[in-house]
Structure 1
Amino acid sequence: MGKGLGGVVLRAFGAKEHQITVTDRQQVTDNLIRVHFHSDTLLNPSGEEPGNWMRAWFPDPSGNGKEHQRGYTYVDVDAAAGNFAVDFVIHEPAGPASTWARNARPGETLGAHRLGEDPFHPEAEIDGVGLPEGFLFLGDLASYPAVNQMALAAREARPDAPVEVILERHSPADEQSPLPAGPGITARWVDPVGEGESLYREIRDRDWNGWYIWAAAEQQVTKRVRAFLRKEAGLPKAAAHTQAYWVRGKRMGTDR
């Protein structure tokens, strides 16, 4: 499967490594690149749930032979054909994944695996909540693919439940990615505030009991939201999923 500690850990958890091959590359917006892939083995033959994702290994930009693991949500999935795409946020300073995406060419391959997925089922009851009264999705451009898919899935599965989306904007180009829209969906971009305060300030004056909340943004932003949901709002643990997608000024992920 692989070399180094990253490969050892993945083997310990029984994760199979798959090969994914680039088939196309698109500049979707000024700061978003979509790379299309094919794999004979990675995808679930029956289809993918909204927000499902993979972990892939990207070469170190220096060419030193190391690889860096990053997680990405599938988009444009055709599971029967083994085709899917991944959206890469282009940012500075560039990390190994965004550097690779800028130069990806058809025929190039990466190693990828599945581990740690938590499928989103908007029609399911939640422990301590029951059937959610509404859905709130918080994030930024990094989590945009997952947020967009889950918001639309919630609207389709639960047309009786309101869906709210709030995304933190880090560049004017972020708004080139269209927000999820449709009956019952409200969505907006907000600017960063203080030390990770933006999304917290957007939700702190509401009663979210009975709702399902999914939040994935920069580490400090996510941490502030998590603290509010658990300590101030008092939501059951099963009613709120919070996850840091990136850390300002630092790299995330495993190396090998």
Structure 2
Amino acid sequence: MGHGWEGVVLKLMRGKDFRFTVTGTEAVGDRFHRVHFTDGGMLAQTGAHPTMWVRVWFDNAGKPHQRAYTLVDPDPANGTFSLEFALHEGPACDWARAARTGDTIEATLQGTGFTTPEPAPGRIVAVGDPASLPAINSLLDALPGVPATVFFETGHPSDAELPFRLDPDHHELRAIPRENGGARLVAEVKAALPALIGDPTTAYVWIACDTATTRTLASYARKELALAKDRVNALGYWRATA
């Protein structure tokens, strides 16, 4: 399958193409699906870093359709990793539901990166939702022992069953139902953030929600709380349609 104009642009931006092979699948609750892969040589070339993601190509009625997914437990030595799909309607989740051992899929590595904050965070404040849970888990795994408060926007009662990797000695989870297009999450984070960040030179705020929410909270942290650019990592993971 060709990758259309998006694929051309990614090539111009030095994107690297790989073919992944499915080695197994598993359901994680009723709204999360995990697919295991061999990496087609990717990790041997690139290594792995926290929150690392790839653009995976799916067929959408004969047209190329790409979505970004965070690698779960990447293992460069064995060339393996998993992807987790927060299930909803669409070609990516349709593919994941139907995936079987031996199936292959194409992906492009371009745009991913992570810089470990220096000085080390006194506390991580992470804001996300089911779409960004794999990245949140990756971040917490990368900074073991660092206290963290996770604001997690939920849309369904079964979200409590998702595969959080929380250390009860260091991590606090604040689950917030999605209301008014993310307005409740914004309000609760804004109310809590000034007290949570402590010393702004060691604060670290990581935000990955819908694009509008992410933009609003990142602006608040940088402009209202005066956090330095390198102490706020923000990326909109999806666009709300309602």
TM-score by length of 1: 0.84
AA aligned to 1:20 is: F
Where 2:110 maps in the other structure, the secondary structure is: coil
AA aligned to 2:26 is: Q
- d(CA) in 1 for partners of 2:35, 2:209: 22
Q: 2:127 aligns with which of 132, 138, 152?
A: 138
AA aligned to 2:13 is: F
Partner of 2:55: 55
Q: 1:233 to 1:142 in 2, by over 3 A?
A: same
AA aligned to 2:80 is: N
Instruction: Report if the CA contact (8 A) 1:20-1:111 is conserved.
Output: yes
Q: Which runs of 4+ in 1 moved over 3 A?
A: 44-47
AA aligned to 2:157 is: P
Aligned length, in residue pairs = 235
Residues 1:225 and 2:217 are matched in the alignment: yes
Structure 2 alignment gaps of length 5 or more: none
Q: 2:109 aligns with which of 106, 114, 117?
A: 114
Where 1:204 maps in the other structure, the secondary structure is: helix
Q: 2:187 aligns with which of 201, 204, 221?
A: 201
Instruction: Report if the CA contact (8 A) 2:21-2:102 is conserved.
Output: yes
The 5 Å alignment of 1:35-74 reads 35-44=35-44, 47-60=47-60, 62=61, 65-74=62-71
AA aligned to 1:114 is: L
Where 1:135 maps in the other structure, the secondary structure is: strand
Same amino acid, percent of matched pairs: 35
Instruction: Report if the CA contact (8 A) 2:49-2:113 is conserved.
Output: no
Residues 1:10 and 2:2 are matched in the alignment: no
The 5 Å alignment of 1:80-91 reads 80-91=77-88
AA aligned to 1:81 is: N
Residues 1:176 and 2:168 are matched in the alignment: no
- d(CA) in 2 for partners of 1:77, 1:231: 35
Q: CA deviation at 1:101?
A: 0.7
TM-score by length of 2: 0.89
Instruction: Report if the CA contact (8 A) 2:3-2:57 is conserved.
Output: no
- d(CA) in 2 for partners of 1:178, 1:219: 23
AA aligned to 1:140 is: D
- d(CA) in 2 for partners of 1:202, 1:151: 22
Instruction: Report if the CA contact (8 A) 1:198-1:221 is conserved.
Output: no
- d(CA) in 2 for partners of 1:115, 1:3: 14
AA aligned to 1:180 is: R
AA aligned to 1:176 is: E
Q: Deviation per CA, 1:142-161: give whole Å up to 9, x if none.
A: 0001101212322x2xx3x4
Q: CA deviation at 1:20?
A: 0.6
Instruction: Report if the CA contact (8 A) 1:2-1:8 is conserved.
Output: no
Instruction: Report if the CA contact (8 A) 2:3-2:64 is conserved.
Output: no
Q: 1:6 to 1:75 in 2, by over 3 A?
A: same
Q: CA deviation at 1:175?
A: 1.0
Higher helix fraction: Structure 1 or Structure 2? 2
